[in-house]
Chains A and B, each alone.
Chain A
């Protein structure tokens, strides 16, 4: 039996979501811009989905721009926030590459890209970030929960501070990993724009959204038929968007109790693994982290071979984030929080479908794999 612990990379699309999507492929297949009834049905489904998303993130007045996923949503926000050629943009130290690499574009345009430092806990303090913010700051971008180590940033506190001191600043939050695991209230938290992705919450891949509060416009990358208020032209992916909304409804139906259960099981898993495997440690803050994330360093072995050995033992995990796997350079997140280069770094991520009993019984297999990896990698030290 395979134990899938790579839900940070993607989750299984739930049966309920697939069923909700199916009619929009072969029955209600109309183009949402068409004037006939088939088209209007699609439009209605699209608008209903929009309301579900707005409601789920506590955005009383605002718009949802559907995108192909989190990366595109982040790109749209950056494209908007970096409009103009003077001033600075402040970004968190552990941002996803779709934000982090925007720094290159900012520098080209003459904007200053500021990144506050971060400690080994992987959690910023509001003071750290505010020290970078001034009158000429155009945008502050912060990832609500990190995609590798799962640490949760003080978004609400930062949003309130920004609103009190610099209300003109565009506050963008990358909520891809946090959505449905951490409560998000855009109005309360003072968030200007929020990136979301469906496939992290048992929705379909290829769908995401940028939620923008108020009447603010987004500067599009593309030109075309004017869909999504002209902010993201192109025929809407109605089946995908319907699936996204259904995934949100399904999470809401599950309520919050399962999050606490997941967190308790995750904590037990961490404790058991720490006890069983010498030379192991947890990366990132133990409390301020997503309930589904356990991120470890294992001394004296390498991530690649270790993952192979896990897979042989029926455990699927990842080294850092999936977006980063396969690359031989160390991840920027590991560098930022000061994890040494010569350890294996492994991310285990759960979902509501993870069988928690199985999870705890996998600890022995994981420990066994680490021992073997150390043995075979230990060969490297033979002269």
Chain B
């Protein structure tokens, strides 16, 4: 009896001047999420978003897939599976009874309920409270021994009497919250293949950033399977954050060069500064305004506050670190929720640890690192890397 979903988008209303832009981003994302399921239509009658079966029939087996898909789209506060009915109050009453019957069947013990009518179609003569009484008694006749409770009832039957549709719902599902992907701009997320960076990507996307991924590997030192793993992580994340389409960048030549030229305790910092530079160039090439990493304060030696500062200093774009002050357990539970944890824990060596000694620098000083970089041909390797990934802006200076 479910024909579609009614979607509510809470936080967007706060952004008065940008409402239309935010809304069109959200609708676009919902359309993209519906496409693989097929036979669905996204409608936007005034002030509402509806996803409905394009043939007007019940969703049937598509209901659970659609529910999962909508639950992952940032920018949605809550959503409800709805039953449409004709523009006739008697029909609405019958649909309310139907919902009441399924509520009764789903509960072994009587509980509390209320009915809430939203009469946005002002052509209807009765007031909302009259309608509530009418539909409430219809539901109460079915819900034997249930009590009406207006504040925090166990079950709420909602009735929308909109100018262009009438519908009834009895479940309110939590959406992902946040802002629609694309509403806040574009970012480049550095994906390591570990537990943290997919979670960072999700948090950035949930605040409205549209993302492109970049992964650094070190051929031949890191196995090919590690790259496949990153692609699989990106595929797993795509229902949540959109298509990350990760760029795969070989940092191996730069790392071998550094290992020959630079003190070993500085290697991680040199690598990470170079990764940020490459990501920044990719951002410039793709119109992104920021970089995102899964850095978590103090988690490993390169993530001390001193080192994080030295890494940020390599680039002008803001380097966002959504997980900076999160507890590892919280990150892990989010990664499990996203489905990336299982992939991330497959043990593969990553590019960051290549040639790095057991006790790398934890209190790096910018002037020391900059001094070391005078002897490291980072500009040449930056150009080489950009050429390898196919992003060499015309304005880029040749190696000096």
- Partner-B contacts on A (CB < 8 A): 304-309, 311-312, 326-328, 373, 376-377, 379-380, 382-383
Contact = CB atoms under 8 A, between A and B. Distances in A.
A379 B348 contact: no
A326 B256 contact: no
Nearest to A310: B220
A369 to B, nearest CB: 9
B349 A376 contact: no
A373 B223 CA distance: 13
Contact of B220 (A306, A379, A382): A306
A226 B355 CA distance: 57
B398 interface: no
B259 A304 contact: no
Nearest to B221: A305
Given A308-B219, A373-B220, A382-B264, 13 more contacts: A304-B220, A304-B221, A304-B222, A307-B220, A308-B223, A308-B224, A311-B224, A312-B220, A326-B223, A326-B225, A326-B346, A328-B349, A383-B264
B349 A304 contact: yes
B260 interface: yes
Contacts of B220: 304-309, 312, 373, 376
A304 B256 CA distance: 16
Most buried by A among B221, B222, B346: B221
Given A306-B220, A326-B225, A379 B355 contact: yes
A380 B259 contact: yes
A13 to B, nearest CB: 22
A312 B220 CA distance: 9
A327 B225 CA distance: 12
B300 to A, nearest CB: 18
A377 B260 CA distance: 11
B396 to A, nearest CB: 27
B17 interface: no
B347 interface: yes
A380 to B, nearest CB: 6
Contact of B355 (A309, A327, A328, A380): A380
Contacts of A306: 220
Given A379-B256, A383-B264, A326 B348 contact: yes
Given A328-B347, A328-B349, A376 B223 contact: no
Interface residues of B, number: 17
Contacts of B348: 326
Contacts of B349: 304, 328
Interface string B145-182: 00000000000000000000000000000000000000
Given A326-B348, A328-B349, A379-B260, A304 B355 contact: no
14 contacts: A304-B223, A306-B220, A308-B220, A308-B221, A308-B224, A312-B220, A326-B347, A326-B348, A327-B347, A328-B349, A376-B220, A376-B256, A377-B221, A379-B256
Nearest to A306: B220
Nearest to A380: B355
Nearest to B346: A326
Nearest to A311: B224
Contacts of B222: 304
Contact of B221 (A376, A382, A383): A376
Interface in B245-259: 252, 256, 259
B259 A382 contact: yes
A373 B260 CA distance: 15
Contacts of A307: 220, 223
A330 to B, nearest CB: 14
Contacts of A311: 224
Contacts of B260: 379, 382
A383 B265 CA distance: 10
Contacts of B347: 326-328
B100 to A, nearest CB: 43
Ranked nearest first, the 9 interchain pairs of A and B with the lowest CB-CB distance are A308-B220, A305-B220, A379-B259, A309-B220, A305-B221, A304-B223, A379-B256, A376-B256, A382-B260
Contacts of A377: 221
Interface string B339-351: 0000000111100
Interface in B202-252: 219-225, 252
Nearest to B224: A308
Contacts of B252: 376
A376 B253 CA distance: 9
Nearest to A312: B220
Nearest to A379: B259
A373 B259 CA distance: 15
